[in-house]
Structure 1
Amino acid sequence: MTEVLSQDEIDQLLTAISSGDIETEEIRQPTDQRKIKIYDFKRPDKFSKEQIRTVSIMHETFARLSTTSLSAQLRSMVQVHVASVDQLTYEEFIRSIPNPTTLAVINMDPLKGSAIMEIDPSITFSIIDRLFGGQGEGAKVTRDLTDIEQSVMEGIIVRILGNMREAWSQVIDLRPRLGQIETNPQFAQIVPPTEMVVLVTLETKVGDVEGMMNFCIPYLTIEPIIGKLSAQYWYSTVRRGATTENLNILRERLSTIEVNIVAEIGRMNLTVRDVLSLVPGDVIRLQNTRTGDPFSLNIGNRPKFLCKPGQIGNKLAVQIVKKLEDVQVQDFEELDDVEGDE
């Protein structure tokens, strides 16, 4: 709100200016001093702080999974954790890494474009030395990888990419694939030099050898899902849990799991003394089972179906005749508890 001066205040102000007590420059000086932020049009910020934070959370999960998988594969103590997540130009990233090094070009299906995974030479040669039966010592001289060493690192990177797919599962069903391995950074031009990228730096320790593992993702590649890289979407997805996308992933993974299916003819309680005295030819009378009754087909330890015995070719088989309801399954469990108490 503008302050209005009275006539006496105006006269005092004019008198002070005439006598030189107040400089006119002091009056003209603006009181509104705004903070100016320098903006570089050559490298604009395309990722917000919230999106950078979400990328960091995703790769903290990736680091934990990689720590476990690499420790098991190398049979050595491996530690991986996120050191920083920054946005910079692709040219700055290329200049910051050594030459030669291990550069893996990653196809980010279903996203368009590729990403770069760079593994420090000290970590690379420590992994190779460990897999070849050594103590896991780093490289004493800088050199390119041989064909055999490159093949070994391909297996390591493919294993690491499986962890990346799981870490990104809350945002997208990522299917990263190893394209090729380069040792000269100048040969890995996946985007223009001025294109902005997000760089995830992972501090890695294999035994006593320390180094860096960098994951470089161009903005053009991650742009289609940039809206999902927010804390609100991330936590709502984690809290929601049972989304259609997650259920499809669970179904796909569960469909390959093997379970035991047992056709149970019947049950009988015997003492240990009776069991030890059993010989071929003895007949055991089953409880609550009559000739012609269907068998219980158990999946795992739970009865799920009723079935009848039969034969297909030269092999024994069972035919499912009825699906057990939840109430009947509960009755089976109660019956087991009663038999256990007896």
Structure 2
Amino acid sequence: MSGEILSQNEIDALLSALSTGEMDAEELKKEEAERKVKVYDFKRALRFSKDQIRSLTRIHDNFARLLTTFYSAQLRTYIHINVASVDQLPYEEFVRSIPKMTVLNVFQVQPLEGNVLMEINPHIAFAMMDRLMGGHGFGGGKADGLTEIETKIMSNLFEKSLENYKEAWSTIVDIETEMANFEVNPQFIQMVSPNETVIVISLNTQIGGTSGMINLCIPYVVLEPIIPKLSAHYWMQSDRKDPKPSEQKLLQQSIHLAQVPVIAELGSAEVTIQDFMQMQIGDVIQLDSSVESPLVLKVGQRAKFTAQPGILNRKIAVQVIDHLARGEEDGE
């Protein structure tokens, strides 16, 4: 059946046709089975689930925020970066989608195998360089006309930003980033085979009045060892993960050294506001406990022990007599 919603009259007519034999239920099932056949393009093999794509989006949302802070401090101007899309496609298709001459940074993410490619639109790259040189952030210029000095300035700026990529991935895996290559022609960079699946994260970037895209291309071979960690199940497990024995020992030591207030309560009394306002030095307040009754010893705000008063080394002290039962604790 088609995916459209039927009215009640159409449903009644369909049931009537089935009951009178005008329509054959077996033929309908056969047609439905035939419609379930879908065309599959092996050149666009989908190796990542929606769950894993969402995890990658979350990681790079964090990366976009870190980049915004980093570039705002470096360039001293308005910067805004956010994730526009996260897609999986063949490497060849990604190369065709970027300009013929652009700014390309290839960097390693040890201990993961392979390289990651960061493509910065020339308008964005030149706006950054113009700000570094004291300009207003003009985004004009062509990538194929870069001088050695301009190449050095750009590569240094982008290399420093890779520390933010390391931090963005820290919740999943510890990586060490290192710049491997700086290029302007994508045809000179062949990281993987043309049909290899890659993840492309597109970042909307605005620097002052200049806007453009920063694209991150991550080959499947890079993410393959950590794919299980990109599932929601792993995230929930990591949240409930028990501490290691060394962490437990450190936690116990910290708890043992923690200081808590201990209060010996002689008793209590209730007075009216009027009596309280008229209270003078020398007035006596009658407590609700007798002299023979043991004191209540509180740890924090919870009654835990009974005690008797005394003196130790010429200082007022209390001696613990007994431990209060749980019901008596809760009643305090």
- Common topology (TM > 0.5): yes
Provide the residue aligned with 1:31 in structure 2: 29
Measure the CA separation in 1 of the matches of 2:97 and 2:55: 24
Measure the CA separation in 2 of the matches of 1:242 and 1:130: 47
Measure the CA separation in 2 of the matches of 1:115 and 1:140: 25
Measure the CA separation in 2 of the matches of 1:190 and 1:53: 25
Cα deviation code 1:134-187 (max 9, x no counterpart)? 000101556432111111112221222100101101111011111010100000
Measure the CA separation in 2 of the matches of 1:165 and 1:123: 22
Measure the CA separation in 1 of the matches of 2:137 and 2:240: 41
Measure the CA separation in 1 of the matches of 2:43 and 2:149: 42
**1:81/1:233 Cα in 2 relative to 1: closer, same or farther (>3 Å)?**
same
Provide the residue aligned with 2:113 in structure 1: 112
Query: In the TM superposition, what are the counterparts of 1:1-342 in structure 2 within 5 Å?
Result: 29-32=27-30, 33-34=32-33, 35-141=36-142, 143-238=144-239, 240=241, 326=257
Cα deviation code 1:90-109 (max 9, x no counterpart)? 00011110021111111121
Cα deviation code 1:226-253 (max 9, x no counterpart)? 1111112124335649679xx8xxxxxx
Measure the CA separation in 2 of the matches of 1:202 and 1:106: 18
Letter in 1 for 2:211: E
Measure the CA separation in 2 of the matches of 1:241 and 1:115: 33
Measure the CA separation in 1 of the matches of 2:135 and 2:243: 46
Measure the CA separation in 2 of the matches of 1:91 and 1:52: 20
How many residues are paired up? 232
- 8 A Cα contact 2:122 2:142, kept in partner: no
With normalisation by structure 2, the TM-score equals 0.64
Q: Does the residue aligned with 1:112 lie in a helix, a strand or coil?
A: coil
Q: Does the residue aligned with 1:137 lie in a helix, a strand or coil?
A: coil
**1:22/1:95 Cα in 2 relative to 1: closer, same or farther (>3 Å)?**
same
Letter in 1 for 2:27: Q
Q: Does the residue aligned with 1:29 lie in a helix, a strand or coil?
A: helix
- 8 A Cα contact 1:199 1:215, kept in partner: yes
Provide the residue aligned with 1:267 in structure 2: none
Q: Which range moves more in the overlay, 143-152 or 65-74?
A: 143-152
Provide the residue aligned with 2:306 in structure 1: none
Provide the residue aligned with 2:251 in structure 1: none
Provide the residue aligned with 1:335 in structure 2: none
Please state how far the C-alpha of 1:50 moved relative to its aligned partner. Answer: 0.5
Please state how far the C-alpha of 1:39 moved relative to its aligned partner. Answer: 1.2
Please state how far the C-alpha of 1:73 moved relative to its aligned partner. Answer: 0.5
Q: Which range moves more in the overlay, 153-162 or 229-238?
A: 229-238
- 8 A Cα contact 1:62 1:163, kept in partner: yes
Cα deviation code 1:248-278 (max 9, x no counterpart)? xxxxxxxxxxxxxxxxxxxxxxxxxxxxxxx
Measure the CA separation in 2 of the matches of 1:184 and 1:167: 28
- 8 A Cα contact 1:100 1:144, kept in partner: no
**1:143/1:40 Cα in 2 relative to 1: closer, same or farther (>3 Å)?**
same
Provide structure 2 residue ranges, at least 5 long, that are not aligned to the other structure. Answer: 1-19, 248-255, 262-332
- 8 A Cα contact 1:197 1:217, kept in partner: yes
Cα deviation code 1:44-93 (max 9, x no counterpart)? 11011111110000000000010001000000011110000000000001
Q: Identical aligned pairs, as a percentage?
A: 46
Letter in 1 for 2:153: V
- 8 A Cα contact 1:122 1:210, kept in partner: yes
Provide the residue aligned with 2:322 in structure 1: none
Q: Does the residue aligned with 1:69 lie in a helix, a strand or coil?
A: helix
- 8 A Cα contact 1:170 1:238, kept in partner: no
With normalisation by structure 1, the TM-score equals 0.62
Cα deviation code 1:265-322 (max 9, x no counterpart)? xxxxxxxxxxxxxxxxxxxxxxxxxxxxxxxxxxxxxxxxxxxxxxxxxxxxxxxxxx
Measure the CA separation in 2 of the matches of 1:191 and 1:327: 55
The list of structure 1 runs, each at least 4 consecutive aligned residues, that deviate by more than 4 angstroms after superposition, is: 25-28, 238-244, 327-330
Q: Which range moves more in the overlay, 132-141 or 106-115?
A: 132-141
**1:121/1:327 Cα in 2 relative to 1: closer, same or farther (>3 Å)?**
closer
Please state how far the C-alpha of 1:326 moved relative to its aligned partner. Answer: 3.3
